[in-house]
Structure 1
Amino acid sequence: MKKAFKILGKILLGIVGFVVVYVLFAFILSRIPVNSENKNKNEDVTIYIKTNGVHTDIVVPIKTEYKDWSQKVQFAHIKSQDSTMQYIGFGWGDKGFYLNTPEWADLKFSTAFNAVFYLGTSAMHATFLKQVKETESCVKIKISQAEYQQLIAYIEESFQYDKNGSPILINATTYGQNDSFYEANRKYHLFYTCNTWANNALKSANQKAALWTPSDTGIFCHYQ
């Protein structure tokens, strides 16, 4: 019995130690900036980073001379089918979280376990918006044409596509009137979260970002 308790104690100690190290590294690495001095003076496109307090979306204009997102991520894919929308927010995350957890109260242990331990699949979330306002949780960023094209490529590479080159739509009914979901590449885990994806999106466009972060605060602290 004593031996069993010793083993259990070591396991618990190991778990606590891992959590402490993870939180410490998450804090330190998220405070190390990259691209902190963007020397590009061109401001061709306005984008936004937007958080709901946990998850970060990259918000871009639906139509510009450089990209018309509605050609593939169509208005017909959302319940409202409202073609007057002006912006689209992109987020990447665990498919189970997106489809089965519209509210935190709906979170199941199995969903969280699968996400954390690399057992689930991922999805792209598109949110159509009529307008975007700057707030503490929504930051405006002006980028060049070249930077936007790099961001476009990054977002496009996150989708899975069918044989016709269209994003694979997921039939989801858990969100609002202006949301759609698509099959995505990569898997969610402790070291690659929805916010890691958004942080890497900013890196791809040569914008201010954290060296690495699993949280939205690790992104937004560089825009305060």
Structure 2
Amino acid sequence: MTRSALPRFLAIAAKWAGRMVLALAALVILFLLSAWIGGAIPRNAGWTEPDTGVTIMVETNGIHTALVLPLVTPEKDWRSDFPASDLPASGRDYTHISVSWGEREVFLGTPTWTDLSPLTALRVVTIGGDSLLHVAHYVRPAPSDTARPLRVSAREYALIVEQIEAALYEADGRSVFPGYTDQDVFYDAAGRYDMTKTCNQWTSDTLAAAGVRTGWWTPMVGGVMRWVPRPGE
């Protein structure tokens, strides 16, 4: 390349780089807008919380959502599926489990969200990946703004159980992976994570399959949590 042609080449490269940045920004804005709209459209819009039934919780850390379930009810005893013996802290009197679904490498490689690299995030969004169930064990979890109680009927709870069992037992394996603390672990799960089925979409799909009101498309936390009243509301 001649010296005289270099400025023109750099100008063209800068022009195309600028277009790519604008296109990426437009895609991000479109994704966020569609997530906001999709999360505001309810599934099972006529559902109401029953007077009696099973109290679960929908919890979030601001990015990820999970379902907190009683360890033992007449509908389901989770101790055989998720035994405390899988935990380093196996001797505690656990009362609940927290179950969520997500992408394998993100789960195993990001104990905190600051550990998530931009390249990993881009790969997960564009290509996707295999999935895991994250199961944490709790002792009498307290309701809060980030762990909101939700009462469902016995039948609805049984359907939630079916969805979780399907994710666990339709997986290719049954491996157990260490969690972030001594009270949580990961299990192989069925399904493939991608842009259309995120961890938060799995939470809302599980609730929707049981007939519970939730957002239609919920890649972000807000599409799930907006349908679960805060304690006292």
Cα displacement string for residues 137-181 of structure 1 (whole angstroms, at most 9, x for unaligned residues): 111111111111111111111125589xxx713332x51111010
1:135 matches 2:140: no
- 1:118 and 1:156 map into 2 onto residues whose CA distance is 26
1:54-65 alignment to 2 at 5 Å? 54-65=63-74
RMSD: 2.1
TM-score (norm 1): 0.89
Residue 134 of structure 2 aligns to a residue whose secondary structure is strand
- 1:213 and 1:93 map into 2 onto residues whose CA distance is 14
Offset of residue 40 of structure 1: 7.1
- Find the partner of 1:27 among 30, 36, 46: 36
1:98 matches 2:107: yes
Match of 2:175 in 1: 169
Match of 1:206 in 2: 211
Contact conserved, 1:160 with 1:182, CA < 8 A, in 2? no
Cα displacement string for residues 64-96 of structure 1 (whole angstroms, at most 9, x for unaligned residues): 111111112111111111351010110001111
CA 1:36 to 1:82, structure 2 compared with 1: closer, same or farther past 3 Å? farther
- 1:108 and 1:15 map into 2 onto residues whose CA distance is 17
Offset of residue 113 of structure 1: 2.7
- 1:219 and 1:177 map into 2 onto residues whose CA distance is 28
- 1:113 and 1:91 map into 2 onto residues whose CA distance is 21
Match of 1:192 in 2: 197
CA 1:41 to 1:162, structure 2 compared with 1: closer, same or farther past 3 Å? closer
- 1:40 and 1:27 map into 2 onto residues whose CA distance is 24
Contact conserved, 1:161 with 1:168, CA < 8 A, in 2? no
- 1:104 and 1:116 map into 2 onto residues whose CA distance is 16
- 1:223 and 1:59 map into 2 onto residues whose CA distance is 13
- 1:161 and 1:27 map into 2 onto residues whose CA distance is 31
Contact conserved, 1:47 with 1:58, CA < 8 A, in 2? yes
Offset of residue 208 of structure 1: 1.9
1:117 matches 2:126: yes
Residue 190 of structure 1 aligns to a residue whose secondary structure is coil
TM-score (norm 2): 0.86
Identical residues among aligned pairs (%) = 28
Residue 91 of structure 1 aligns to a residue whose secondary structure is strand
Where does the alignment leave 5 or more consecutive residues of structure 2 unmatched? 1-8
CA 1:186 to 1:14, structure 2 compared with 1: closer, same or farther past 3 Å? same
Match of 1:48 in 2: 57
Residue 192 of structure 2 aligns to a residue whose secondary structure is coil
Where does the alignment leave 5 or more consecutive residues of structure 1 unmatched? none
Letter paired with 2:212: Q
- 1:60 and 1:138 map into 2 onto residues whose CA distance is 11
Match of 1:179 in 2: 184
